[in-house]
């Protein structure tokens, strides 16, 4: 169960973004000027990229509650990457908690 949850945390937003991109490519062409930011987002910050994309559905400007949604995406990225390190900290020799 834990492996399934970890797989969904790492692969879930990436798969969702790629499927969304394949379904509606024109939306992403209007939203992103270059391919650089979506590629960087998919590699390093998939939750933030997914929530940023969701917040841009309403219009071309990020306002109000959209910032809260993007901060939630940033926190999910931090928790996804930091959770594994916190759980496996006892495997590092010489690490004291």
* Cα–Cα distance for residue pair 51/71, rounded to 1 Å: 9
* Cα–Cα distance for residue pair 44/69, rounded to 1 Å: 18
pLDDT of residue 84: 63
pLDDT of residue 71: 93
Q: Kindly state whether residue 26 falls inside one of the protein's structural domains.
A: yes
pLDDT digits (tens, 9 = 90+) for 12-24: 888 888 888 888 8
Q: Kindly state whether residue 64 falls inside one of the protein's structural domains.
A: yes
Q: Kindly state whether residue 29 falls inside one of the protein's structural domains.
A: yes
Q: Kindly state whether residue 74 falls inside one of the protein's structural domains.
A: yes
pLDDT digits (tens, 9 = 90+) for 37-93: 888 988 899 989 888 888 887 667 778 888 998 999 999 888 887 766 666 666 666
Q: Kindly state whether residue 97 falls inside one of the protein's structural domains.
A: no
Which residues make Cβ contacts (< 8 Å) with residue 50, sequence separation at least 6?
13, 16, 17, 73
Structure confidence at residue 97 as a pLDDT band (50, 70, 90): low
pLDDT of residue 87: 64
Which residue segment(s) compose the domain that 84 sits in?
Answer: 2-90
Q: Kindly state whether residue 95 falls inside one of the protein's structural domains.
A: no
C-beta of residue 80 within 8 angstroms of C-beta of residue 9: yes
pLDDT of residue 56: 84
C-beta of residue 38 within 8 angstroms of C-beta of residue 28: yes
- Number of structural domains (the chain) is 1
Q: Kindly state whether residue 96 falls inside one of the protein's structural domains.
A: no
Q: Kindly state whether residue 42 falls inside one of the protein's structural domains.
A: yes
């Amino acid at each position: 169960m834990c492996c399934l949850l970890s797989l969904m945390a790492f692969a879930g937003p990436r798969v969702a973004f790629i499927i969304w991109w394949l379904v509606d490519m024109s939306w992403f062409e209007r939203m992103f000027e270059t391919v650089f930011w979506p590629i960087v987002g998919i590699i390093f910050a998939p939750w933030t990229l997914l929530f940023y994309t969701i917040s841009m559905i309403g219009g071309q400007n990020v306002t109000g509650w959209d910032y809260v949604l993007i901060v939630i995406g940033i926190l999910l990225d931090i928790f996804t990457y930091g959770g594994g390190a916190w759980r496996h900290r006892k495997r590092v020799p010489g690490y004291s908690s």
